[in-house]
């Protein structure tokens, strides 16, 4: 039983969600910052961040990321992780831009795939470009792996020096077109990691809670939040990101893995050096 | 996410434990019955039963099983599961005897193996003999599988009609000499089961809580209790069997899998027909 | 040990290969038909077919498929399997067209992915469109699965009726961007198939021979040919498709799985009904 | 594709086989030495050795091992590997004795289990005792692992210094009571090995040929011989051990893994230092 404190990452906004499907969706800088603070107070140590423009649409504009970052920093300490995924279809130059603000972490999606009826495009060139932006800005990469071949792509590209060797791994499971959120799949993925590699899992939809449970007991870390799953339980919308975080905290406490403080999370991830 | 109610089996006595290592160990019929009642009140629906003689030593004597059964029945409703394992070294005739009392269930261990520095002996002949006693008394078998080859033995012996096709499966993981209590091992085992087969896992020692967590999230069932693990957490003895049951109940509730009532457990296991 | 005759599929042309990298590449209808005949004589029962236009470029033109088909049919009996993959970038309408000629089989690629530095695009809509063309023409589909999530997509789309339930499965392993050609990966995939599902594996590059070996011993079927691998051994170009087929035939014979005749292959695949 | 030369171990006698079931069984020292020579000429580099007494019964008598060893050494060079398994039921002191002759290698069975209707007894104490004899005589151990838990026992006992860290691993699959000879099981086992660990597989009965095929393609090594399997193919007894070796050699040659010479085998196993 690993008793490393549990790093909880809160995916509080996302790029695809709208108020139509989730009325409590934070959109303005203030709303996002408030949601971040609540999540951190609930036990999250990483905020996985997407931002929205004046019309509530997903954007990779640097000024918006800057504003939101400032507002979050004013409210609470946390590890800020910018998404470089953008919305489906965002050009790669735009996806990279916010990394110049030097957040603690930034995501790096490791392959192209169907994402439901859309294509989520991450060519090798895109990956290389974003990886370079991340490295050049001295940011820590969180690699987003959606399918098994993408994990093997990580190894190939790390070996070639195209992807940073020092990274945090995130398995995003349950996208229609990627790997399903099953324990069998998670074990296959984790069994392929190098010894000592830190990892988290983000289960989509109804896969969120089971993946969190398994990860707690496997010594991994956890991502929850409305970006990935808007329900608290079947048929019942989550009240907030904080509510989803709180449940994970309670379960982790029963398991004797307390939620990591921000400082503990920095140390576990090697961000405090 | 499977929301089948969770069947919790409490292994409240065991055959090897002594008061030296676990002072609160129930030994007399009254103590055992009281421990059973507490476990059931805490949320267990199956009592996995070993009994002790006047000297506190493990015994397969029918009269002792009868006395304890009566005392438990007077206190609470539960599914009574007799161990036919006995202590290491108990002859097979003795191991079988209590089955004549027609408990709800009885265990059937599926192979010979090292059990730490001892041998736990279950030859094919032993298995066949105990299986016949179970079938002849119209009792439901819980198959105890400690290693991968034993699961393949189940399939082989079921095919030959030597082991009842209708059974509940219990993976007992963490015996030195058997398979370790890891999620990787549990997934391998569960992936080999027939569709629809009910199963539980009993993790030994510090494997108890992780195996329970995983099983809750996998749609399996759980065995806990001092027979398998005397600690509540590292360095802290469990106060009682009930305390170990209660934690599983709380986690399962967070997962929206309520602890099964005795009636629900009977239905899930097909004991109510 | 499964002694079902071994169905060998020969991928004799491909869409990406040029004479620069493989001088013996068959391009004209006559050359392709001759290569097909040689492969069949060597032991192949399925010809996996791409065709080329007057400039040697990959094409999905119906008239070219028709000409090549006629020439092959004049030379030998075989199961003709048209590729609907086209080259990277071919529009979906064109990819579908040759299916109207009602070959025995046609391929159906089950997802979008990086294919080296390119994107191989198969959106859910593309898959659905090609699947409909296949079904409407009463052709048998061979599903091309390049990564684990694509196998789960198969199950999802079969359940929805979007992909034919009766199909032959082909795992194409070793594409940079898909799953690597390892036995660990092949076992994971095969373990997820339904009982009785026929399957083959095509290992790319140096993965071709190992995947063939494993498949022979697992009761699967095999695809070889210069489309997937131009080397007979390290540093030594294959003389012909037939040479690659012959080695598999020899190994399969040692294993007591004779290469399937065309009639046997039809029967195993359910094409003779 | 690993092109390390293939170490073929020939199990030419065994402890349980009789002339009733296999008429060509070598029994006398001369017959055994002749069978060894034939196997080596066919391509084996290790002779896995059991010997028989004047009545053809299995024995661990030192003088018989000595006589047979001398006769083999007079005929050919090979790596001699003594079995310390003995027949089912042989006491541990007797099992150890021949190790004093300092063969190149000796076997060490890693657990107790059902072996069909018998028990094959290898308590932790037995393992420790034999391991000490092996180490004290500066012999290389081949660890015989029959089930998954036994592999975990290896790790546990190596860590405690009870089993030599430097060893060759042999998975013996297909014993009723142990793990079945399936590729799924072999992959699970191999995936748990340390990087660089040399290993072989011995498939019993009809599992012998499939396990050999897979191992060739996985970079492992192979044990064949009548001890494990008396049939060349279904319903046809093997003519000799050499015949079984020859088939593996032919397949390995097709795969470009030539059978290791004795010198190559010594080097691969680290015996030449
Ligand atoms: Zn995101
Ligand atoms: Zn028990
Ligand atoms: Zn093709
Ligand atoms: Zn032997």
**D111 touching B (Cβ < 8 Å):** yes
Q: Among the residues of chain C, which ranges form H helices? A: 29-42, 62-75, 92-96, 124-136, 148-159, 183-191, 208-218, 241-254, 262-269
Indicate whether C190 belongs to any domain.
no
Tell how far the Cα of A109 is from the centroid of ligand 1, in angstroms. 10
Q: Residues 134 to 153 of A: which have CB under 8 A from any B CB?
A: none
CA distance B169 to A180: 26
CA distance B193 to B199: 9
The DSSP H or E segment spanning A56 is none
Indicate whether C178 belongs to any domain.
no
Tell how far the Cα of D124 is from the centroid of ligand 2, in angstroms. 22
CA distance D113 to B124: 11
Nearest CA in chain C to D186: C184
Residue A1, pLDDT > 60, answer no
Indicate whether B1 belongs to any domain.
no
> Given this model, what pLDDT does residue D148 score?
98
> Given this model, what pLDDT does residue B273 score?
62
Supply the mean pLDDT for chain A.
96
**A89 touching C (Cβ < 8 Å):** no
Flag if A213 and B255 touch (Cβ within 8 Å).
Answer: yes
Give residue C273's pLDDT band: very low, low, confident or very high (50, 70, 90): low
Nearest CA in chain D to C191: D184
Flag if A149 and C179 touch (Cβ within 8 Å).
Answer: yes
Task: Please state the rounded mean pLDDT for residues C227-232.
Answer: 98
> Given this model, what pLDDT does residue A2 score?
63
Q: Write out residues in chain D with pLDDT < 70, as ranges.
A: 1-2, 273
Flag if B1 and A183 touch (Cβ within 8 Å).
Answer: no
Q: Please report residues of B whose CB lies closer than 8 A to that of D112.
A: 112-114, 119, 177
Flag if A123 and C113 touch (Cβ within 8 Å).
Answer: no
Flag if B183 and A256 touch (Cβ within 8 Å).
Answer: no
**C236 touching D (Cβ < 8 Å):** no
Summarize pLDDT for C20-55 with one digit per residue, the tens: 999 999 999 999 999 999 999 999 999 999 999 999
> Bigger pLDDT: D4 or A86?
D4
Nearest CA in chain C to A184: C188
Tell how far the Cα of A175 is from the centroid of ligand 1, in angstroms. 12
Give residue B167's pLDDT band: very low, low, confident or very high (50, 70, 90): very high
Query: How many angstroms away from the CA of C136 is the closest CA of chain A?
Result: 23
CA distance D100 to D133: 8
**D109 touching B (Cβ < 8 Å):** no
> Given this model, what pLDDT does residue D1 score?
46
Q: Residues 57 to 86 of B: which have CB under 8 A from any D CB?
A: none
Task: Please state the rounded mean pLDDT for residues B51-65.
Answer: 96
Indicate whether C182 belongs to any domain.
no
Nearest CA in chain C to D2: C210
CA dihedral C207, C208, C213, C214 (to 10 degrees): 50
Among B217, B234, B250, select the one facing A214 at the smallest CB separation. B217
A231 burial type by CB count under 10 A (0-12 exposed, 13-18 middle, 19+ buried) = middle
Nearest one of A45, A77, A43 to A250, comparing CA atoms: A43
List the shell of residues around ion ligand 3, using CB closer than 5 Å.
C 83
Q: Please report residues of C whose CB lies closer than 8 A to that of D183.
A: 183, 187, 214, 217-218
Query: How many angstroms away from the CA of D219 is the closest CA of chain C?
Result: 10
Summarize pLDDT for A177-213 with one digit per residue, the tens: 999 999 999 999 999 999 999 999 999 999 999 999 9
Compute the count of residue pairs across chains B and D with CB atoms less than 8 Å apart: 84
What percent of chain B clears pLDDT 90, i.e. is strictly above it?
95
Give residue B92's pLDDT band: very low, low, confident or very high (50, 70, 90): confident
Task: Please state the rounded mean pLDDT for residues B40-62.
Answer: 97
Task: Please state the rounded mean pLDDT for residues B110-123.
Answer: 96
**C160 touching D (Cβ < 8 Å):** no
Within 10 Å of residue C190's Cβ, how many Cβ atoms? Answer: 21
> Given this model, what pLDDT does residue C90 score?
84
* DSSP letter for each residue of C32-53: HHHHHHHHHHHT--EEEE-EE-
> Given this model, what pLDDT does residue A211 score?
98
> Given this model, what pLDDT does residue B89 score?
79
Q: Please report residues of B whose CB lies closer than 8 A to that of D122.
A: 114
Q: How many domains is chain D built from?
A: 1
CA dihedral B233, B239, B245, B251 (to 10 degrees): -40
Q: Please report residues of B whose CB lies closer than 8 A to that of A213.
A: 213-214, 216-217, 255
Among C1, C187, C207, select the one facing D206 at the smallest CB separation. C1
Count how many Cα atoms sit within 13 Å of the Cα of residue B159 in the half-sphere of its side chain: 7
Query: How many angstroms away from the CA of B243 is the closest CA of chain D?
Result: 30
Nearest CA in chain C to A119: C123
Is residue B221 within 8 Å of B199, Cβ to Cβ? yes
Flag if B148 and D179 touch (Cβ within 8 Å).
Answer: yes
Compute the count of residue pairs across chains C and D with CB atoms less than 8 Å apart: 61
Biggest CA–CA distance in chain A, Å, is: 47
Q: Please report residues of B whose CB lies closer than 8 A to that of D185.
A: 148
Asked whether this complex has an ipTM greater than 0.95, the answer is yes
Cα-to-chain-centroid distance, residue D246 = 17
> Given this model, what pLDDT does residue B1 score?
46
**A183 touching C (Cβ < 8 Å):** no
Residue B28, pLDDT > 90, answer yes
Bridge partner residues of C171 (DSSP): C145, C201
Summarize pLDDT for D103-115 with one digit per residue, the tens: 999 999 999 999 9
Summarize pLDDT for A127-170 with one digit per residue, the tens: 999 999 999 999 999 999 999 999 999 999 999 999 999 999 99
Three-class secondary structure of residue D50 per DSSP? coil
Lowest-pLDDT range, A6-20, B87-101, C39-53, D13-27?
B87-101
Indicate whether D2 belongs to any domain.
no
Indicate whether B2 belongs to any domain.
no
Indicate whether D3 belongs to any domain.
no
> Given this model, what pLDDT does residue D89 score?
79
> Given this model, what pLDDT does residue C2 score?
63
Give residue B2's pLDDT band: very low, low, confident or very high (50, 70, 90): low
- Domain hosting residue D151, numbered range: 8-269
Q: Please report residues of D whose CB lies closer than 8 A to that of B123.
A: 114, 117-119
Q: What is the CATH number of the domain that holds D15?
A: 3.20.20.70
> Given this model, what pLDDT does residue B272 score?
81
**A218 touching B (Cβ < 8 Å):** yes
Indicate whether D1 belongs to any domain.
no
Flag if D178 and B149 touch (Cβ within 8 Å).
Answer: yes
Is residue B177 within 8 Å of B149, Cβ to Cβ? no
Ligand number nearest to the C-alpha of A87: 1
**A177 touching B (Cβ < 8 Å):** no
Q: Please report residues of D whose CB lies closer than 8 A to that of B180.
A: 149, 152
CA distance D194 to C176: 26
Summarize pLDDT for C107-156 with one digit per residue, the tens: 999 999 999 999 999 999 999 999 999 999 999 999 999 999 999 999 99
Tell how far the Cα of A156 is from the centroid of ligand 1, in angstroms. 24
Task: Please state the rounded mean pLDDT for residues A100-128.
Answer: 97
Is residue B105 within 8 Å of B79, Cβ to Cβ? yes
Ligand number nearest to the C-alpha of A17: 1
DSSP class of residue B5 equals: P
Tell how far the Cα of D86 is from the centroid of ligand 4, in angstroms. 8
**D119 touching B (Cβ < 8 Å):** yes
């Amino acid at each position: 039983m690993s008793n490393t404190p549990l790093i909880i990452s809160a995916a509080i906004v996302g790029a695809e969600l709208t108020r139509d499907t989730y009325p409590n969706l934070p959109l303005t800088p203030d709303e996002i910052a408030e949601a971040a603070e609540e999540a951190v107070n609930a036990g999250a140590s990483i905020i996985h961040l997407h931002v929205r423009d004046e019309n509530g649409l997903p954007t990779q504009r640097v000024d918006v990321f800057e504003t939101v970052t400032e507002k979050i920093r004013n409210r609470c300490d946390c590890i800020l992780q910018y998404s470089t995924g953008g919305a489906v279809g965002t050009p790669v130059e735009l996806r990279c831009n916010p990394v110049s603000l030097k957040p603690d972490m930034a995501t790096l999606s490791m392959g192209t795939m169907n994402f439901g009826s859309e294509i989520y495009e991450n060519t090798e060139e895109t990956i290389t470009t974003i990886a370079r932006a991340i490295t050049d800005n001295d940011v820590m990469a969180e690699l987003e792996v959606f399918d098994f071949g993408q994990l093997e792509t990580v190894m190939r590209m790390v070996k070639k020096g195209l992807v940073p060797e020092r990274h945090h791994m995130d398995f995003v499971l349950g996208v229609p077109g990627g790997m399903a959120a099953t324990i069998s799949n998670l074990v296959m993925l984790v069994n392929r990691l190098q010894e000592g590699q830190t990892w988290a899992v983000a289960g989509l939809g109804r896969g969120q809670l089971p993946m969190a449970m398994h990860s707690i007991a496997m010594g991994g870390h956890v991502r929850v939040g409305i970006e990935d799953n808007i329900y608290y339980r079947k048929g019942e919308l989550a009240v907030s990101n904080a509510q989803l975080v709180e449940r994970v905290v309670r379960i982790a406490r029963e398991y004797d893995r307390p939620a990591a403080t921000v400082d503990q999370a920095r140390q576990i991830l090697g961000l405090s050096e």
